[in-house]
Chain A
Amino acid sequence: DIQMTQSPSSLSASLGDTVTITCRASQSIGNYLNWYQQRPGKAPKLLLFTASSLQSGVPSRFSGSGSGTDFTLTIGSLQPEDFATYYCQQSHTAPPTFGQGTKVEI
């Protein structure tokens, strides 16, 4: 299985900050990389697909980049609702695998 490694595991930030989360795949996955947001007690929500495409309804302060094995999720101008855990997921090779998550805290 393809291993997905996120860093950092957690980070502290303030309202208005810009934060970057990285995700590394154990082998090349092209751009088959998705990002999800999970707020406490809620189900995950798709934010970006194919590394950099914004899902409908997701604010433009979220952006993604990367290809191959290294990817980033950037959240610009953090808002209160952005404090959550973020997961990357590869959809290149079955089974789908997730990173361990990055918790963004105040």
Chain B
Amino acid sequence: EVQLVESGGGLAQPGGSLRLSCAASGFTFGTYWMHWVRQAPGKGLVWVSHINTIGSTTTYAESVKGRFTISRDNAKNTMYLQMNSLRPDDTAVYYCARETSFGFDPWGPGTLVTVSS
């Protein structure tokens, strides 16, 4: 079964850091581009970042550029999101998703990040 599972969310103070992980199974992880998408409480889906198959190309939403870093370890079938200088408006459920020719599929169940003092 193709599966993604996020971890690493939790409570962080403004200005703090968190590192999210996305563990993949059931497919050849290293052959797919991967994305992070977030959803603030009661709000819609917002794309955050993407990484290509070998990690040589990454892109970010303007709102996180310079603060967040996406990476991957294909040997461990895992993608990461290092989040620094966190702000209250970064509070959201963070989903990882696989990019296919047919859209984002599947998505992980998400991990909640709360930024508050």
Q: Cβ of A100 and Cβ of B59 under 8 Å apart?
A: no
Counting chain B residues whose Cβ lies within 8 A of the other chain, the interface size class is 10 to 19
**Contact residues in A for B54 (Cβ distance below 8 Å):** none
Bound CA–CA A17/B105 (angstroms): 28
Q: Cβ of B47 and Cβ of A98 under 8 Å apart?
A: yes
Bound CA–CA A97/B48 (angstroms): 10
| A18-26, A40-48, A66-74, A76-84 - interface stretch | A40-48
**Contact residues in A for B46 (Cβ distance below 8 Å):** 98
A17 CB to closest chain B CB (Å) equals 24
B106 CB to closest chain A CB (Å) equals 8
Known contacts A44-B45, A101-B44; A94/B59 CB under 8 A = yes
Q: Cβ of A89 and Cβ of B103 under 8 Å apart?
A: yes
Bound CA–CA A101/B105 (angstroms): 18
Known contacts A94-B59, A98-B44; A46/B109 CB under 8 A = no
Q: Cβ of B103 and Cβ of A91 under 8 Å apart?
A: yes
Q: Cβ of A44 and Cβ of B102 under 8 Å apart?
A: no
**Contact residues in B for A50 (Cβ distance below 8 Å):** 102
**Contact residues in B for A91 (Cβ distance below 8 Å):** 103
Bound CA–CA A38/B101 (angstroms): 20
- The residue on B at minimum CB distance from A98 is B45
B5 CB to closest chain A CB (Å) equals 11
**Contact residues in A for B59 (Cβ distance below 8 Å):** 94-95
Specify which of A43, A96, A98 is in contact with B107 (CB 8 Å cutoff): A43
Q: Cβ of A43 and Cβ of B47 under 8 Å apart?
A: no
A20 CB to closest chain B CB (Å) equals 20
Bound CA–CA A87/B59 (angstroms): 22
Q: Nearest 9 pairs between A and B by C-beta?
A: A34-B103, A49-B102, A43-B107, A46-B105, A98-B45, A49-B103, A101-B44, A100-B44, A46-B103
Sampled A-B contacts (11; CB under 8 Å):
A34-B103, A34-B104, A36-B45, A44-B104, A45-B106, A46-B102, A49-B101, A87-B45, A89-B104, A94-B50, A97-B47
